Structure 1
Amino acid sequence: MAVGLGSKAADEEARAEVEVLNSRLEKTSQLSKKIQASLSRLEANGKSMQDAIGPIYGNTQKLQVMGTNIEGILGAIERIRQPSDLKNSEEEIIRKGPEKAGLSAFLSSVKRLSKALSEMQRTNLRANQQALADLNRLLKAGNSQLESYFVKILQEDSRPIEPLTFITKDKPFPVLNQDLTTRLGLINSFISSVTRQTGFGGDSPVLQLYASVRGPYLLSTLQNLASASVNTAKKKVPDAVYRQGTNGIGTYAKGTEAAFLAEYENICKLFARDEWSKVLNLTCQGAISELARTLRELNAHIKLNLTTDCYLAYEIMEIITSLSANIDGRTGELKPSFAAALKPIRETGKSSLADLLEDTRRRINSIQTLPQDGSVPSITTEAMTRLQTMVDFLRPISSIMISIGDGGWKASTAAANASDQIPSLKSFDVTADGKQIFAHYCVDTIDTLLASLEQKGKATLKGKATLGVFVANNATVVDRMIRGSDLQPLLASRMADVDKWRKNGFQIYSVAWREPSAHLLDVQYTNRGQRPPSGSAAAIDSAAIVKGLSSKDKDAIKEKFRLFNASFDELVAKHKSLHMEREVREALSRQVRQMIEPLYCRFWDRYHEVDKGKGKYAKYNKAEISGVFLTLG
C-alpha cells in the first residue's frame, strides 16, 4: 500500500514537469513568431530608409570631392602667390648686396630664393613660369654679388709684401686674418653647396676666384726676388769664376717656399680637403711660370759663360730640387711643375760635363807656345780648380752622374742625353754611386788635360829634358791640388792614375841623359890577359889599366871623357835652367845621380890616369861629380 502511494506521487511530479516544459515551449514559439514579425517589419523599414538616404549620401560624396578640389585650387593659388610675395620680400635684400644688407642676412635671403626656386621647378606649374624666371634672375644676381664680394674681401688682405723683410728675420710669411677667413669660408661653403645642388658637376667658381686674386699676389710678392736673381748673375769681370752663394736664386727659393706654404695654410682653412690640390696649383701657377722664365734667363747666361758659371747651374739644381722636395713634403703638390721649370738648367748641367772636357782640349790646342822652361801653364791649375769647385756641388753633380751613367760625359752620349727626349727607367742605374762616377769623371778630366799637354809639348818644346820636366811638373801640380783639397777622399784610390803621368815625365827626362851615360860604357875583352879586378875601387889600378891600353884605345877613352864632359855639362846647365816643382827637382836629381854616378865612378876609377892627373880629360873626380849632383837637387 505504501508502494502504490509512492509511485503515484512520482507520476504526479513528472506530469507537473511536462506541463511546465510544454508551457515554456509554447511561449518560445510565440516569441519566435513575434521576432519574425519584427524582422519583417524592420526589413521593410530598412528598404524604405535606404531608398530615402541613398541620394543624400551621393550628394555628400560629391560635396567632399568638391571641397577637396576647392582646397587644392586655393593651395595652388597660394603657391602661385608665394613666389611673387617671396620675390617682393627678397628683392630688396638682393638689391642691397651682402655688404650693406649684412653677409648673414644676404646668405639667408639667397638660401630662401634657392629653396623656393627648387620647389617651383618640381611643381612645374605653367602659371609660375614668369615667377620662376624672376626668382632665377634674383638668385643669379645674388650668387654673382656673393662672388664679387668674395673677391673684394680677399683683396683687402692681398696686397703684395716685401719678402726680404720676412726672409732676413726668418719669419713666416703672413696668412689671411681670422675674421676675413671666416667670412670667406661662409661664402665659399654656400657657393660650393649651390654648385653641388645644380647637379651639373664641375668645380665651384670660388676656386678660380681665389686663384685670380692670390695668384697675382704671389707673383707680385716674388717679382723682385726673381729680378734680383737675374741681376746678380751679370758679370762685372768677364772671366770671373762664379762663387757659391753670390746669386740671388737662394733667396728667391726661400721666398717662394715661405710664400707657397703660407698660401697652402690659407687654402686648407677655406676649402674642402679634395679641393686643396687644385686650388694650390691654380694659385701658384703664375709664380711658377715666372720662376721658369727666370731660370731660362739664367740658363742663357750660363751657356754663354759655361766655363766660369757652370757652377751656378749646379747650385740652381740643388736649390730648386730642395725647394720642390720641401713643398712636396708639406703639400704633396707642385713637384712636376718645379721639375719642368728646372729642366733647361738640368740639361745644361748634364751637357756641361762633356763641354768642359772639350773646352780643356780646345784651349790647350789653341796655345801657340808653351813655357820653354817646362813650367806649368795656367790651364792646369784652372782645370784642377774647376774640379775642386765641383766638389762643393757634389750633390747635384752626383744626381747628374747617376742620370747620365758612368762615361755619359763622352761627346757622343752626352749629346744624346742632352736631347729633349724623356728618359726611361732603363736609362737610370738605381744602384749607381754618383760620387764614384764623379771620381771617374775627374780621372778622365786629368787624363785629357795631361795627354793634351804632352801632345802640345811634343810639338812646341825643344828637347826631351824640357818635355819630361813639363809633363812631370803638370802631373805634380795635379797631384798636389788633389791632396790639398776635398778631391783627396774621392780620388784616394785613383792616385796611381795621376802618378803614372809623373813617372812618364821622369822617363821622358831620363832619355836625355842616355847620351852621357852611353859615353861611360867601354868594351872589355876578358880573353885578353888578366881578368879586370872586381870589388872595391881601391882594388882597381887605373895606371896599370891605362898602361895596358893601346894608343888607339887610349885615344878612344880620352874621347869618351871629352864627349861625356860636354854632354854632362850641357845637361847640368839645362837641368838648372828648367823650372821644376820641388818634388820634381828632388826626384829628377836623384834619378840622374842614380843613373850617372855609378857609371862615372866606375869609368873614372879605371881610366882617370889617361891624362896623368892633369884633369884635361877626366874633368871631374868622384868627389867633384858628386858635388855637381848635389847642386841639381
Structure 2
Amino acid sequence: MAVGLSNTRHAADEEARAEVDVLNSRLEKTTQLTKKIQACLGRLEATGKSVREVSGPLTGETKKLQVLGNNIDAVIAAIERLRQPADSKNDEEAIIRQGPEKAGLSNYLNSIKRLNKALADMKTSNLRANQQTMADLQRLIKSGNTQLENSFDKMLRAETPRSIEPLQYTTKNTPFPLLTQDKISRLSLMNSYVSGNSLSENPLIKIYADVRGQYLQQTLVNLAYASVNTAKKKSPDAIYRSGTNGIGMYAQAMEGLFVAEYDNICNIFMRQDWGPAFQMTCQAPLAELARTIRELNNHIKAHLNTDCYLAYEVIEIMSNLSNNIEERTGELKSTLAAALKPVRETGKSSLAELLEETKRRVGALQTLPSDGSPVPVVSETMQRLQTMVDFLRPISSIMISLGDGGWRSGAAANASMDGIPSLASFDIGADGKEIFAHYCTDTIDALMSALEQKARVLLKGKSIWGVLLANSVTIIERMIRDSDLKPLLEGKLGVLETWRKKAKAYYAEACKDVSMHLFDVIHTNRTQRPPSGSSESASILKGLSSKDKDSIKAKFQIFNASFDELVARHKTYSMEREVRQMFAKDTQQMLEPLYNRFWDRYHEIDKGKGKYVKYDKSSIAAVFLSLY
C-alpha cells in the first residue's frame, strides 16, 4: 500500500520537473528572440537615420513641385477666364447694338455690367496680349452708356408733355400730374446703373433737368406774362387792390408743379442727388420768375404811390411760396430770396419814400382853396393808410425789420432784410401793430405840418388857415373811424387833437379882433352897482360924459361892422359839418357873453332906435345859431 503511494508521488514529481524543463527551454528561446529583436531594432534605427538624411531634400522638392503645379493650374484657369470676354465679345456686342428697347432693359444692363467686369479683370491681368480686346470692350461700354443715356432721354421726353394748363389744377385744387409708375421704374433702373458706375457727375441729372425744366417753364410762362400784364391798369391813378394781380395764381401753380417734380426726382434718383437734381430742374422756371419780379418791381417803382401795395403782396406771396417749398423739399430758399430781393428792397424803402412823397405833393401845390375846403392829398394819404391795413402782415414784417421810426431820415436805407422772412415774422403781434400805428401818426403829422406851411404861404388870414387844418383833421379822423385803422390807432391820436387845437387857435384870432370892441375902460362915479336891465344901462349912461358916450357909440358901430364881416366870412368858408359846428360854438362862447354884458351896460345909447345898437340879445343869439 505504501509502495503504491510512493510510486504515485514519484510519477507526479517527474511530471512537474518535465514541465519546468519545458518552461525553461521556452524562456531561453524568448531571451534569445528578445536579443535578436533588440539587435534588429538597433540596425533598423541606424538604417532609418540614413533614410531620413536621404529623403528630407526629396520631400522639399516634392512640395515645390506641388506649388508649381498649382500655380500652373491657376494660370491656366486665369487664361481661360481672360479668354472668355474675348470669346463672348461678339455676343455682348450684339446685345449692345440692339439697344435697351429691343434687347430689353434688364438684359441690356446686365450685358454692360458683364463688359465692365471683363474690362476690370483684364486691367488687373495687365497682359499686353489683351490690349486690343480691352480697347474693344471700352468702345462697347462707351457705346452702351451713350445708348442708355439716349434711351433715358427718349423715354423721359415721350412721357413729358410740352406744357399743361396749370389753372386746371390750381382752380380745382388738385395735385399736378406725376410720371407714370412704369416709366419711373424704368428710369430709376437706368439711373441705378449709371449713378453706380459714374466716376463724376451723374449725366442723367442734366438730361432730366433739361427735359423737365423746359416743361415746367413752358407750363408757367403764361402765368408769368399774366402777372406782368395784370399790373397795368386802365386808370394810372387807381390804387392797387389785393388779389388783382396774377402773381398769386403764378405762385400757387409753381408750388404745385415744383412739389410734384420733387416727388418724381425722389422716385428716380438716389438720395444724394435729390437736391442737385431738383435745383437744376427748377433753374429755368426760377429764372423766368426772377425776370417777372424785376418787371413788376419796375412798374411798382414807377407808380409807388398807388402800387406800393403790390410790392407788399408780392413779398407775402413769394415768402409763403419759399416757406412751403422749403418745408416740402428743403430746397430753393436762397434762390427764391434772390429772386424776391428787388421787390423786397422796394417794399422796405417805400415807407420812407411814401412819407416824403406826401410832403412833396403838398409842397408842390400852387394854390389852396380860398374857402378852406380840404385838398385831395388829405383823403388820398388816408386811403393809402387804409389800404395798407389789407397788407398788414408783410408790412408788419418790413416794419419789424426797420424798427420803430426806421422810416425816418433815411434810416430805412440802413435796415437789413436780405433773407426771406420766416413764417414767424409774418405773425402780426403787438410790435408790428404798434410800429404801424406809429408810422400812421408820423404820416398824419407830416401831412398836417406840410399843409400848415403851405397855407401860411398861399392863404391870407389865420382864420382860413384854421378852417383848412380843421377840415383836414376832421376828414382824417372820419377816415380812421370808418375803416380798419380804428382798432389800430385807437388811443394813439393825440397828434390829431394837437392839430385841432392849433386850428381852433387860428380861427379864434378873428373872434379876438371882434371881441376887442366889446371891452370898455369907462368907469362911473357910482359906488353901488346899478340895477340890471334897461335901468342899469340908463343909469350907467347918465354917468358918462359926451366923449365916453361917443366912444360907446363908435364901439357899437365898429363891432356891428366887424361882427357882420365875421359872420359873412364864416358862411363863405367850406367847412365839414363837424368843423362848422365847432367853430360856431367857439365863436358863440367867445363873443355872446361879452356882447350881452356890453349890451346890458350900453344898449340905451340910442334909445332903441337901432342907429348904433344893431343887435339885441335875442337877435344876436339868432345870428350865432345861424352859424351852425
| Alignment TM-score > 0.5, same fold | yes
Tell me if 1:86 matches 2:88: yes
The one of 336, 339, 343 equivalent to 1:345 is 343
CA shift, 1:344, in A, is: 0.5
**Structure 1 residues 576, 49: closer, same or farther in 2, change over 3 A?**
closer
Tell me if 1:628 matches 2:623: yes
1:403 corresponds in structure 2 to 401
The one of 485, 488, 491 equivalent to 2:486 is 488
CA shift, 1:129, in A, is: 2.5
**Larger deviation, residues 71-80 vs 471-480:** 71-80
Tell me if 1:612 matches 2:596: no
**Larger deviation, residues 110-119 vs 565-574:** 110-119
What whole-Å deviation, never above 9, does each CA across 1:437-469 have from its counterpart, x for those lacking one? Answer: 111111011001111111111111122221111
CA shift, 1:79, in A, is: 2.5
1:182 corresponds in structure 2 to 185
Give the distance between the partners of 2:56 and 2:353, measured in 1 at CA. Answer: 114
What whole-Å deviation, never above 9, does each CA across 1:177-214 have from its counterpart, x for those lacking one? Answer: 1111111011111112223xxxx4x5422222221221
Give the distance between the partners of 1:68 and 1:257, measured in 2 at CA. Answer: 68
Give the distance between the partners of 1:133 and 1:145, measured in 2 at CA. Answer: 18
Give the distance between the partners of 1:53 and 1:401, measured in 2 at CA. Answer: 103
Give the distance between the partners of 1:299 and 1:378, measured in 2 at CA. Answer: 27
The one of 586, 589, 607 equivalent to 1:591 is 586
CA shift, 1:64, in A, is: 4.9
1:532 corresponds in structure 2 to 529
Equivalences for 1:376-525 in 2 at 5 Å?
376-417=374-415, 433-525=431-523
Equivalences for 1:182-261 in 2 at 5 Å?
182-195=185-198, 200=199, 202-261=200-259
- 2:529 is paired with a residue whose SS is coil
The one of 536, 547, 552 equivalent to 2:542 is 547
**Larger deviation, residues 46-55 vs 265-274:** 46-55
Give the distance between the partners of 1:130 and 1:386, measured in 2 at CA. Answer: 81
Show structure 1 runs of 5+ residues with no match: none
What whole-Å deviation, never above 9, does each CA across 1:231-282 have from its counterpart, x for those lacking one? Answer: 1112322222222222111111111111101101111211233322222111
Give the distance between the partners of 2:462 and 2:279, measured in 1 at CA. Answer: 68
2:267 corresponds in structure 1 to 269
**Structure 1 residues 205, 617: closer, same or farther in 2, change over 3 A?**
same
What whole-Å deviation, never above 9, does each CA across 1:308-333 have from its counterpart, x for those lacking one? Answer: 11111111111111111111121121
CA shift, 1:486, in A, is: 0.5
CA shift, 1:483, in A, is: 0.5
Calculate the TM-score normalised by the size of structure 1: 0.90
CA shift, 1:398, in A, is: 0.6
**Structure 1 residues 232, 17: closer, same or farther in 2, change over 3 A?**
same
Instruction: Assess if the C-alpha contact under 8 Å between 1:540 and 1:605 holds in 2.
Output: no
**Structure 1 residues 356, 15: closer, same or farther in 2, change over 3 A?**
same
**Structure 1 residues 51, 249: closer, same or farther in 2, change over 3 A?**
closer
Give the distance between the partners of 1:354 and 1:96, measured in 2 at CA. Answer: 70
Aligned residue identity for 2:310 = L
CA shift, 1:105, in A, is: 1.1
- 1:444 is paired with a residue whose SS is helix
**Larger deviation, residues 484-493 vs 116-125:** 116-125
- 2:370 is paired with a residue whose SS is coil
Give the distance between the partners of 1:43 and 1:325, measured in 2 at CA. Answer: 97
Aligned residue identity for 2:375 = P
CA shift, 1:299, in A, is: 0.5
Aligned residue identity for 1:28 = T
**Cα RMSD (Å) of the superposition?**
3.2
Give the distance between the partners of 1:281 and 1:540, measured in 2 at CA. Answer: 102
Aligned residues: 617
Aligned residue identity for 1:571 = L
Show structure 2 runs of 5+ residues with no match: none
CA shift, 1:138, in A, is: 1.4
CA shift, 1:516, in A, is: 1.3
**Structure 1 residues 607, 13: closer, same or farther in 2, change over 3 A?**
farther
**Larger deviation, residues 460-469 vs 550-559:** 460-469
- 1:367 is paired with a residue whose SS is coil
Give the distance between the partners of 1:185 and 1:471, measured in 2 at CA. Answer: 74
The one of 114, 118, 121 equivalent to 1:112 is 114
Calculate the TM-score normalised by the size of structure 2: 0.91
- 1:513 is paired with a residue whose SS is helix
Aligned residue identity for 2:499 = W
Aligned residue identity for 1:550 = S
**Structure 1 residues 50, 592: closer, same or farther in 2, change over 3 A?**
closer
- 1:170 is paired with a residue whose SS is coil
Instruction: Assess if the C-alpha contact under 8 Å between 1:380 and 1:478 holds in 2.
Output: yes
Aligned residue identity for 2:529 = P
**Structure 1 residues 23, 403: closer, same or farther in 2, change over 3 A?**
same
Aligned residue identity for 1:496 = G
Give the distance between the partners of 1:554 and 1:139, measured in 2 at CA. Answer: 129
Equivalences for 1:99-138 in 2 at 5 Å?
99-138=101-140
- 2:492 is paired with a residue whose SS is helix
Aligned residue identity for 1:529 = R
Instruction: Assess if the C-alpha contact under 8 Å between 2:82 and 2:121 holds in 1.
Output: no
CA shift, 1:370, in A, is: 0.4
**Structure 1 residues 630, 34: closer, same or farther in 2, change over 3 A?**
same
**Larger deviation, residues 237-246 vs 33-42:** 33-42
**Larger deviation, residues 480-489 vs 271-280:** 271-280
1:155 corresponds in structure 2 to 157
Percent identical residues: 60
2:370 corresponds in structure 1 to 372
Give the distance between the partners of 1:346 and 1:413, measured in 2 at CA. Answer: 16
**Larger deviation, residues 16-25 vs 304-313:** 16-25
Give the distance between the partners of 1:54 and 1:570, measured in 2 at CA. Answer: 150
Instruction: Assess if the C-alpha contact under 8 Å between 1:80 and 1:127 holds in 2.
Output: no
Aligned residue identity for 1:530 = T
**Structure 1 residues 59, 485: closer, same or farther in 2, change over 3 A?**
closer
Give the distance between the partners of 2:89 and 2:38, measured in 1 at CA. Answer: 74
Instruction: Assess if the C-alpha contact under 8 Å between 1:354 and 1:414 holds in 2.
Output: yes
The one of 591, 598, 602 equivalent to 1:603 is 598
CA shift, 1:599, in A, is: 0.6
